[in-house]
Structure 1
Amino acid sequence: MDAPYAILEPLRPGIARLLARNPSPYTYTGTQTYLVGDEEEVVVIDPGPDLDEHLDAIVVAVGSRSLKAISCTHTHRDHSPASRPLKERTGAPIIGCAPLVLDDDGPRADASFDADYAPDRVLGDGEALAVDGHDLVAVATPGHTSNHLCFAYRGALFTGDHVMGWSTTVVIPPDGDMGAYMRSLGKMADREEDEVYFPAHGAQVDNPRRLARHLLGHRMAREKQIMKRLEEGDSTIDAIVANIYPGLDERLVPAAGGSVLAHLIELDRQGRASQHGEEWRVA
């Protein structure tokens, strides 16, 4: 891919981006690491995978400024592993999302979880870090993962994987929760202060509230499709995926199945669907 790997791209005052060389069907061109701050100090958001080229580029981009914090939106392995070697090289604390350890280590469609992530401080919803006279504010957005945070800074919202600039977000149980994800989308749609989204994958979003509403509508439409398939006799996730995702790239079928399962679990909570062994039915 013709992507600007390891090249610092200024985006707007106090915000710049570095792209990691980890392209895939789930990461698009790779993980985008953001540097926020001006002349004296900076925070790194989503340091990404532990790749020497990317780590070197982050250190060079920070330069002589003080690295106040290394902040992760969540703990998938394309987002947080570089936090540890970056801390070793700079001495900066890891401040951001909570650690996440799952008993279930079954197959997953997107990057697996980073079990070694160890924050020095966890930010709660609405907590802030001061960066060169501006606040970097944590915005809790569970759904893609239970520990997912976005970060608000000077009119921009860094959305991690909750909202992406190239694809809909994967929501896979047991940690991914469709009901929580939809509620978080509603929360984002209500935020009037966000002028732009900077996702971890894909292009910036210049009409953020419109996109949040669109994605919420998309999930509601998908829920209706799944209910219709149940009503018409589809009883397995494989059958539902085949009918509502025709022609899907085989590499993305596990992710589609995970999202269907997440919708079914939410429909079960609502009393509209129920599980019977490996099969699902209208309740």
Structure 2
Amino acid sequence: MPCSDENNGTTGAYGIRHVLAPNPSPMTQNGTNSYLLGQGDVAVIDPGPLDEAHLAAILAALGPDERITHILVTHAHLDHSAGAKALAAKTGAATYGFGAPQAGRSALMQRLAEEGQLGGGEGIDHDFLPDHNLADGAQITVGGARITAHHTPGHFSNHLSFEFGTTVFSGDVVMGWTSTVISPPDGDLASYFAALDRLESLAPHQLLAGHGAPILAPRKRIGQLRAHRLARHAQIAEATHIAPVCATTLARQIYGDLPPRILQAATRNCLAHLIDMMEKDELSVAGPITDQAIFQRR
């Protein structure tokens, strides 16, 4: 049976409880999903934004003899991690994550970040620093629940997914309602494809995402997301064969008329594809890499 997704504070199968943050937006759908896992001693996965009402709702979801001992963060975006420090202060729980916001970057993305002209950095929680770093494959046990951390960058370099039995908490890497934003240097297309492969190899029965409803057919959804990115890659490759192009122009050509915030996200996705093709020696670029940098065929 899947995790209950009907009401805040309800207990679903596997002892997983779901609390929805009140931060709906075009980028978060109905809001950020916070999850409670374990009995007695409880882990919170993604405390969400810094919102006192949401933190109170998380605490209200505890049983009378329960306490939060672990705060697990999938990645350092403000809508997932900003509430961690405040929740830790209220409960005395330790925080866990892969590392600081820049942790886990590929060598290419680290170099591009150091060059300082790429931009990006949308919604980063620059103050996030976990009490304990969880390496890829690290395991912890909380309230009878054994949780395994998997490093799954792509959407964000320090992104972790958490495996518990046949459930995987997939953060923003795999969501049912939309594909994720890949915004270099925090996002990396090659790492994203590797993360999809990693999650697929775990063969979960359900994915519980950072936003949206439970995903009850994970292999199918992962396949859809992989196919979507490959189709987008083919579109962008075709466009570069026609003429040199920048990410801003590509986004307008491919996505059409979008609200400014969504268009910016689409532009960053296009840039991620262009950088990936550059890394594979399919494209070259003159000057620093930005949204307006012109990429052309070698």
Return the TM-score normalized by structure 1.
0.92
- Specify whether residues 106 and 5 from structure 1 end up closer, same or farther in structure 2 by C-alpha distance, changes over 3 A only: farther
| 1:111-150 aligned within 5 A | 112-150=123-161
Whether contact under 8 Å (2:34, 2:47) holds in the other structure is: yes
Distance 1:105 1:62 in 2: 46
One-letter code of the match for 2:20? Answer: L
In percent, how many aligned pairs have the same letter? 36
Aligned to 2:187: 176
Q: Does 1:244 align with 2:259?
A: no
Whether contact under 8 Å (2:120, 2:186) holds in the other structure is: no
User: Which has the higher mean CA deviation after the structures are superposed, 158-167 or 269-278?
Assistant: 269-278
Match of 1:130, SS state, is strand
Q: Does 1:208 align with 2:218?
A: yes
- Specify whether residues 62 and 96 from structure 1 end up closer, same or farther in structure 2 by C-alpha distance, changes over 3 A only: farther
User: Which has the higher mean CA deviation after the structures are superposed, 225-234 or 45-54?
Assistant: 225-234
- Specify whether residues 243 and 105 from structure 1 end up closer, same or farther in structure 2 by C-alpha distance, changes over 3 A only: closer
Question: Going by fraction, where is helix more abundant, 1 or 2?
Answer: 2
- Specify whether residues 215 and 257 from structure 1 end up closer, same or farther in structure 2 by C-alpha distance, changes over 3 A only: same
Match of 2:199, SS state, is helix
One-letter code of the match for 1:248? Answer: L
One-letter code of the match for 1:221? Answer: A
Aligned to 1:59: 59
- Specify whether residues 105 and 268 from structure 1 end up closer, same or farther in structure 2 by C-alpha distance, changes over 3 A only: closer
User: Which has the higher mean CA deviation after the structures are superposed, 259-268 or 96-105?
Assistant: 96-105
Aligned to 2:14: 13
Match of 2:58, SS state, is helix
Whether contact under 8 Å (2:69, 2:91) holds in the other structure is: no
Unaligned runs of 5+ in 1: none
Match of 2:79, SS state, is coil
Q: Deviations over 1:16-64 (max 9, x none)?
A: 10001111111111101000113x2210000001101001111121243
Whether contact under 8 Å (2:41, 2:143) holds in the other structure is: yes
Q: Deviations over 1:213-257 (max 9, x none)?
A: 221121111111100011112512222112211233333000001
| 1:1-283 aligned within 5 A | 7-38=8-39, 40-63=40-63, 64-101=65-102, 108=120, 110=122, 112-192=123-203, 194-277=204-287, 278-283=293-298
Match of 2:158, SS state, is coil
After TM superposition, give the deviation of residue 105 of structure 1 in Å: 9.3
Unaligned runs of 5+ in 2: 103-112, 288-292
One-letter code of the match for 2:90? Answer: R
Distance 1:107 1:166 in 2: 27
Distance 2:229 2:244 in 1: 19
- Specify whether residues 172 and 79 from structure 1 end up closer, same or farther in structure 2 by C-alpha distance, changes over 3 A only: same
Distance 1:36 1:190 in 2: 23
Q: Deviations over 1:240-281 (max 9, x none)?
A: 112211233333000001011111111111111111242111
Return the TM-score normalized by structure 2.
0.87
- How many residue pairs end up in the alignment? 277
Runs of 4+ in structure 1 displaced over 4 angstroms? 101-110
Aligned to 2:106: none
Distance 1:107 1:280 in 2: 17
Whether contact under 8 Å (2:88, 2:95) holds in the other structure is: yes
After TM superposition, give the deviation of residue 6 of structure 1 in Å: 8.4
RMSD: 2.0
Distance 1:134 1:105 in 2: 44
After TM superposition, give the deviation of residue 97 of structure 1 in Å: 2.5
Q: Deviations over 1:156-186 (max 9, x none)?
A: 1001111112110000011211111111111
Distance 1:127 1:180 in 2: 19
Whether contact under 8 Å (2:188, 2:272) holds in the other structure is: yes
User: Which has the higher mean CA deviation after the structures are superposed, 226-235 or 136-145?
Assistant: 226-235
After TM superposition, give the deviation of residue 96 of structure 1 in Å: 2.3
After TM superposition, give the deviation of residue 5 of structure 1 in Å: 11
Whether contact under 8 Å (2:176, 2:221) holds in the other structure is: no
One-letter code of the match for 2:230? Answer: M
Whether contact under 8 Å (1:17, 1:32) holds in the other structure is: yes
